[in-house]
A and B are shown apart, each in its own frame.
Chain A
């Protein structure tokens, strides 16, 4: 006998019924005890539980549009879009039958410890997915590794005071797992470094984690501890008045590991109010150095600074550290660009977005192309800018980015470092779908 719940809207002209069955999407077996919800806009949802045969029923349902969803601990719907099925009841169709399937989901859990085996609290845990078959997920920040594989960040978590983390509902696939200090909290021990599972300094030497559908996987990370070295240097082109303004003008500098796949790699950081800088605790290796000089807006009273000069340069830090690095600051010029279209596509306004990957402070810009295709990306801070573009009008959204070049450099996959020397133009090419296939 199915469990039933009255909708309680007795004045409805038609007493409708919404019923159905909830099954296990892997085995096909009925799921008993699932909680099924019937939701309408601006009304409290109604709930029913499935019986031993996985069946449920809502009786006396008023005409209208509803969403029907099901949940049970440890299970998830097949695809997010099918978690809530839409049904509409009216005089012609007073009843609806829905079938919902739920599957066990995969979970990755583990523990992050230091060289002593003690837990590291408040570590940020990031999953980096190796992209393979399409999985209906949109990934921002897709990057191409030197071996041609594409990776993207795909969720994450944070450790508790015991160093434990748990990431549920992971789509099947191959992942890399990274522990790093979280943005709001430094690790106590500054000699601890960002570490890939199981205890690797970078993705190239990390061990991938394979996760199958519904699998419970454990992956513990032992964080690498290495006394860092020092990097010192000076900024060139720091305008004399800016340096004299003293308290209110400063230059921030950080190092981002080359080949970094993380959005916010918490590298060494320093703020300098002079021409000199010093970074401590740097793990030897190859980096991109990012620097930005900020000056106060308006009167020199502090508190509201705007980026004026910046630098992005490659450096290689040896085991003994590095002194005397000369950082050539340059004005943050706007990036000029032009959009063109493949043959057969009508030129339309295109929104070009430059999203920041490695950054030091606010970064990124966007612009809409004018007639003739030209655009200007204004006001970004320094960082690695990855380019994305789409038709500005709702009807042109299916236009897609085909290629992006800065001067001769292909910046389609991994973007470009900003600011850059010279005045290269960003060339963006868009394609359009025709007769179901892409030109």
Chain B
């Protein structure tokens, strides 16, 4: 009797299971990939399987697959897939750049840091950004940058604490003279790097302290790059007479800073900051007048426009290590307390989103921010703010517009597999929203009304293309621009040329 009950219970459990299976192959050769790790999350649980020798995997799930699967195998770029029925996941082989870094004497340049940089289109600006992290040369000078998507890269070498100026391959301070290394999917490129002794500028000056001030732990002088791909920072001790010299500074824009404690400073620390543009020549005679840091309370208002219903919003600001947050009250008013005169990133979130029963809460978009009389550039994620101002800060949210549609092939059939549709505003710096979906159907995250260019990414794993200026330029006319109106919008139908599928 007990055995029968167990059998019934077991069959019921088996019936409740769904099987997701498929094959993982090399996208360049079509060859099956054994040992790939396939995982998915069901509720709180991660379910995983490895592909067998024929590249096949089988996941036994207690409920239907919702979020798709993630696939990883050593030597390939990570990938994901959604869909119903048997799946075929094609992994793209990673590219790698490796070699030896030697100094001018042919000695291994141990501990130098090498990064692969690539241009990105971020907030309408073309910026050079690091891809895939950095790596440090070992005691033989060997380095290896792996996990790279196919693309065009610059190599940047920094020598923290060493005697070489940070430089681009092959031994230049000037990006225009740097070599582009183009790698294809799966390519292993050997690039030997010869460090060059480069004359770079010195930044020198003097820190002037308020009368009678004698900071216990002295004053630290640093030079932090603005908009640098590597975020490099240079340090120098302040001499007893207050003078300092920072050597081997490559050209660029910097914030020169003297602070008596750690950064960000605390109230009563001494601080001086100044922007410095460095070219080929030394920058001398800078006077940094350090003064005690004063904190300021910044009052503000949250405003809802364009039909957006007022809802609870938390405004939070972050300067590297400390978050200050305030919740807007019923009138939209908030106060960010005890701000230091430093640079902040401002973010926002909706505390009720995590609670059930707030389905429409996400449908507001940050559309504007104004500090006093000054308009601040915003993206939906937030904006940048220099502390020290009394404000007021006015933050505007607008009702976001939901946009959905279909991606069809030339014959009018839905495009199989995952779809990524990507919209880039024709003006403004709002980030480009993207929508994902399966079997040709997509839903974009809420966006502001306006005119947008439309892109369909060739591969759901190539998100980096949404920031690749070359790709964006080359494909800007693939689809006619769309006008997104406030309120309801018709569903988009996008026909993808055969070559792009």
Contact = CB atoms under 8 A, between A and B. Distances in A.
Interface of A: 35, 42, 44-45, 47, 49, 71-74, 107, 114, 116-121, 160-163, 166, 168-169, 188-191, 246-247, 278, 280-281, 299, 301-304
Contact size range, B: 35 or more
A73 B74 contact: no
Contact of B75 (A114, A161, A168, A301): A161
Contacts of B72: 188
Contacts of B34: 116
B241 interface: no
B107 interface: yes
Contact of B146 (A160, A188, A303): A160
B138 A168 contact: yes
- Interface residues of A, dominant DSSP: loop
A166 B139 contact: yes
Given A116-B50, A190-B46, A278-B44, A301 B108 contact: no
Contacts of A303: 314, 316, 323, 325
- Interface residues of B, dominant DSSP: strand
A301 B45 contact: no
Given A73-B107, A166-B139, A119 B146 contact: no
A301 B351 contact: yes
B240 to A, nearest CB: 13
B31 interface: no
Contacts of A188: 37, 39, 72
4 smallest CB-CB distances across A and B, nearest first, come from A161-B146, A116-B35, A168-B139, A303-B323
B314 A302 contact: yes
Interface centre among B34, B140, B245 (most CB of A within 10 A): B140
Interface of B: 34-35, 37, 39, 44-46, 48, 50, 72-75, 94, 96, 105, 107-108, 135, 138-140, 144, 146-147, 163, 245, 314, 316, 322-327, 351, 354-355
A251 to B, nearest CB: 15
Contacts of A42: 245
A35 B138 contact: no
B34 to A, nearest CB: 7
A166 B139 CA distance: 9
Contact of B326 (A71, A161, A281, A301): A301
Given A280-B45, A303-B325, 17 more contacts: A35-B105, A47-B105, A73-B107, A73-B139, A73-B140, A114-B35, A116-B50, A119-B75, A121-B74, A160-B144, A166-B138, A169-B139, A188-B72, A278-B44, A301-B316, A301-B325, A302-B351
A80 to B, nearest CB: 15
B146 A190 contact: no
B203 to A, nearest CB: 15
Contacts of B144: 160-162
A113 B74 CA distance: 10
A162 B94 CA distance: 12
A189 B37 contact: yes
Contacts of A71: 107
Given A35-B107, A161-B146, A166-B139, A304 B325 contact: yes
Contact of B35 (A118, A121, A168, A301): A118
A181 to B, nearest CB: 14
Contacts of A191: 48
Contacts of B94: 161
